Amino acid sequence: MKGRSIPIRHFCFLFILCGLAWGAVSGYAEVVDRIVAIVNDDCIALSELNEALKPYVEQIRGAHYPPEVEREMFFKLRQDMLNKMIDQKLTNQESERLNVVVDDREVDQQIERIKSEHFLTDEELRKSLETEGYALEEYRKRIKEQMLQMKLINIEVRSKIAITEKDIRDYYEAHKTDYQGMQKYHLRTILIRVPPSPSVDQRKAAREKIESIADALKSGAAFDELAKQYSEDGTAAEGGDLGLFTLDELSVQFRDTVALMAEGQISPVLETPQGYQLLMLEEIKGTPGKNLKEVSIEIHERLYRELVEEKYKAWLKALRERSYVKVIL
């Protein structure tokens, strides 16, 4: 009579026990390595988790955060990385079950594409990986895992997604304002500053100066020339040219003023946190809207990406639910 095979998860527990026993025999108080997660008949060791965390840990330490912030970041990073590794184990197992494979030739081709896109030689790629804490073989392994995942997504998710013309039309109607024409406002300014905590006399002098400039503009003086001569804004040398803005990009005070102005019009004197200010609306530039036909491909790609992400998360959640996953942290 043949003996029954022992599931690998039992070996994982044996690994923990052996680690504890070795620590006791050796007189050490800590275990050199241990299991942090069991995923079906596979397991993840603490050493694997620490190796995956290493580049990110170095980045966080190099940023010199306060100790309590650093601890919180390390804790979250460890949880997130372990979940990512569990998901990777599950997708690897599912790839094996479905006989989805990526051979070395495919990995080589993908790495060559990456090198070509970033204009890297073999040596430059190796050095770039070293600065990020990766060896080339580890990088190849990650590329292979990503390619396996993409093939699996194609089989389990993408092949089951269909975007209809109705989907595209409904999205367009629901987001019509995104595809309408946009207006941008070309503005110039003249600013007369007041110092912090100004006296009554200082405020009065600044007000009188801006009003005299406004009078000169009403008499036909060129806005850009007066800006160069009198403005205390950083744009004075360019004739007070602020550039192009949509209304949403302006402060509430400027937005309400500009919305009522016509091209070539000069605003009343505005009291702002910087001091007293005049605006000139030099030009309104309109961009045409896009009809459904013009944006149908763009909407199709957007909907497809969103659905792939949504369906993949649902598929991965279902895969977890029907798998044996135990975290031992």
Do 265 and 306 belong to one domain? no
Show which of 97, 131, 147 is a domain's final residue.
Answer: 97
pLDDT by residue for the chain (329 residues), tens digit each?
333 344 555 456 555 544 444 444 434 445 468 999 999 999 999 999 998 898 889 889 888 899 999 999 999 999 999 999 999 999 999 999 999 999 999 999 999 999 998 888 999 998 888 887 778 888 898 899 889 888 988 888 888 888 999 999 999 999 888 888 788 999 999 999 999 888 999 999 999 999 999 999 999 999 999 999 999 999 999 999 999 998 989 999 999 999 999 999 999 999 998 999 999 999 999 877 888 999 999 999 999 999 998 999 999 999 999 999 999 97
CA dist., res. 113 & res. 14, Å (int): 43
Q: What is the pLDDT of residue 156?
A: 87
Show which of 76, 97, 118 is a domain's final residue.
Answer: 97
Q: Which domain holds residue 194?
A: 184-287
pLDDT, tens only, 257-297 = 999 999 999 999 999 989 999 999 999 998 778 889 999 99
Total domain count, the chain: 4
CA 237 to chain centre: 37
Do 123 and 168 belong to one domain? no
Dihedral sign computed on CA atoms, order 235, 241, 246, 250: positive
Do 35 and 90 belong to one domain? yes
Q: What is the pLDDT of residue 53?
A: 92
CATH classification of the domain holding 265: 3.10.50.40
Do 276 and 209 belong to one domain? yes
Q: Model pTM?
A: 0.55
Do 207 and 223 belong to one domain? yes
Q: What is the pLDDT of residue 201?
A: 93
Do 190 and 259 belong to one domain? yes
Do 22 and 4 belong to one domain? yes
Do 251 and 201 belong to one domain? yes
Show which of 46, 64, 97 is a domain's final residue.
Answer: 97
Do 56 and 147 belong to one domain? no
Do 277 and 188 belong to one domain? yes
Do 9 and 144 belong to one domain? no
User: Is-contact 46 34, C-beta < 8 A?
Assistant: yes
User: Is-contact 88 37, C-beta < 8 A?
Assistant: no
Question: What 3 state SS string does the chain have?
Answer: CCCCCCCHHHHHHHHHHHHHHHHHHHCCCCCCCCEEEEECCEEEEHHHHHHHHHHHHHHHHHCCCCHHHHHHHHHHHHHHHHHHHHHHHHHHHHHHHCCCCCCHHHHHHHHHHHHHHCCCCHHHHHHHHHHCCCCHHHHHHHHHHHHHHHHHHHHHCHHHCCCCHHHHHHHHHHCHHHHCCEEEEEEEEEEEECCCCCCHHHHHHHHHHHHHHHHHHHCCCCHHHHHHHHCCCCCHHHCCEEEEECHHHCCHHHHHHHCCCCCCCECCCEEECCEEEEEEEEEEEEECCCCHHHHHHHHHHHHHHHHHHHHHHHHHHHHHHCCCEEECC
Do 108 and 131 belong to one domain? yes
